[in-house]
Amino acid sequence: MSRTALLATATAGLVLLGAAPATAAQTPTTPATIVTCGPSALQAGLSTKVCAAVTGTNVQLYGQISLAGPPSPGSTLPVKDLITTLSGGVVGGASLGAQTQTVRFQSTTTQVRGVSGTAPCGSTVHAEFAVSAFSSPPSGPAVLNVPVTC
């Protein structure tokens, strides 16, 4: 075979390889989780806020309790028994649920979880987190409105 014929055969083979369909396996992508927290609220002398972790149409709500500021030097850190209520729902739609539970706060940031569900793409989820101590009346809850953008 001459060099020209060999070169033509090799070129034709490369053209055929380029025309072959791609067969790479496609793996499904998992949507990113977006965590959004509302502004802090002062309840039972503690800093509280409510957050939502949104992954696609799945929404998980949680409340967070922490000290409202640094403790005074030499003071003992607070231990409080609290009553918490976490609730949420799709604005103009279904409830994601509500949960009331007793929590012992011992000066470290504490999360309260337990309310989750699905919300349609384009909707807004409204969440509330209320905290009260056994010896003090409840004050306004921490609130959050978060869009489900999918």
pLDDT at 74: 85
Taking only Cα atoms into account, the Rg of the chain, rounded to an integer number of angstroms, comes to 28
Determine the average pLDDT of the residues in 98-112.
95
The residue type at 91: V
Q: What average pLDDT does the structure give for the chain?
A: 86
Domain boundaries, position 107: 31-147
The C-alpha torsion from 130 through 136 and 139 to 144, rounded to 10°, is -20
Determine the average pLDDT of the residues in 62-80.
90
**Cβ-based neighbours of 150, under 8 Å, separated by 6 or more:** 31, 56, 57, 121, 122
pLDDT at 47: 96
In a domain? residue 142: yes
In a domain? residue 14: no
Which domain CATH number covers 66? Answer: 2.60.40
pTM (2 d.p.): 0.78
In a domain? residue 128: yes
Grade residue 71 by pLDDT with cuts at 50, 70 and 90. confident
Q: How many domains does the chain have?
A: 1
In a domain? residue 18: no
